[in-house]
Amino acid sequence: MQFKPSEAKAMSLLPRSKPGRSIRTTLLCWLLPFAAVFMGVAWFLHGVLLERMAQDFVRERLQQEAAFMEQHLRSASSGEARQRIWQQASQSTGAHHLYAVRLADSELFSHPHWRLQLQPWLEQTQPGLQTLSAQLPAHTARSQFLAYRISTQLDGRPLVIVVAEDVSVLKAGEHKLHLWTAIVAIALLLVLIGMILLAVHLALRPTTQLRYQLQQLRQGSRSRLDDQVPAEFQKLIQQLNQLLDTLDQRLEHSRQAHANLSHSVKTPIAAITQMMNNSKAPMTAEIRLQIVSKLAEINRQLDSAMRSTRTAGPQLGKTAKAVNQTREMLWMIGRLHPHKHFELDIQGDESQSWPIEEQDLNELLGNLIDNAGKWAHSQVRVQLRQDAQTFEIAVADDGAGVAEDQLEQLGTRGMRLDQQMPGHGIGLAIVRDIAARYGATLSFARSAQGGLLARIRLPCRP
How many whole angstroms separate alpha carbon 66 and alpha carbon 49?
25
Check: CB of residue 337 under 8 Å from CB of residue 377. no
Q: pLDDT by residue (tens digit) across 350-359?
A: 888 888 888 7
One-letter identity of residue 33: P
To the question of domain 320-459 being in CATH 3.50.50.60, the answer is no
Taking the C-alpha atoms of residue 58 and residue 54, their distance in angstroms, rounded to an integer, is 6
pLDDT tens profile 3-40: 444 544 444 444 555 556 677 777 778 878 888 888 88
Q: Convert the pLDDT of each residue in 278-324 to its tens digit.
A: 677 677 777 777 677 767 767 766 776 666 555 555 555 567 888 98
pLDDT in tens, 254-266: 776 676 666 556 6
Q: In this predicted structure, what is the pLDDT of residue 249?
A: 79
Query: What is the domain partition of the chain in residue ranges?
Result: 19-203, 231-309, 320-459
Q: Cα–Cα distances in Å, from 49 out to 42, 44, 57, 144, 178?
A: 10, 9, 12, 20, 11
* Separation between Cα atoms, residue 365 and residue 159, nearest integer Å: 112
Q: How far is CA 19 from CA 16, 174, 431, in A?
A: 9, 48, 44
Find, among 401, 391, 357, 396, the residue nearest to 379 by Cα: 396
Closest to 171 in 3D by CA, of 150, 141, 203, 146: 146
Task: Please name the residue ranges forming H helices in 204-230.
Answer: 205-219
Record the pTM: 0.41
- Residues of 186-203 as b/e, b for ≥16 C-beta within 10 angstroms? eeebeebeeebeeebeee
| Cβ–Cβ under 8 Å, residues 398 and 379 | yes
For residue 457, the model assigns a pLDDT of 92
d(CA 336, CA 328): 13
What's the mean pLDDT in 168-175? 78
Q: With contact defined as beta carbons under 8 Å apart, do 58 and 170 qualify? A: yes
On the question of a common fold for 19-203 and 320-459, the answer reads: no
Contact 320, 357 (CB under 8 A): yes
The C-alpha torsion from 104 through 105 and 110 to 111, rounded to 10°, is: 160
CATH superfamily to which 19-203 belongs: PAS domain (3.30.450.20)
- Give the pLDDT confidence score for residue 286 in this predicted structure: 73
Higher pLDDT, 23 or 163: 163
pLDDT value for 355: 86
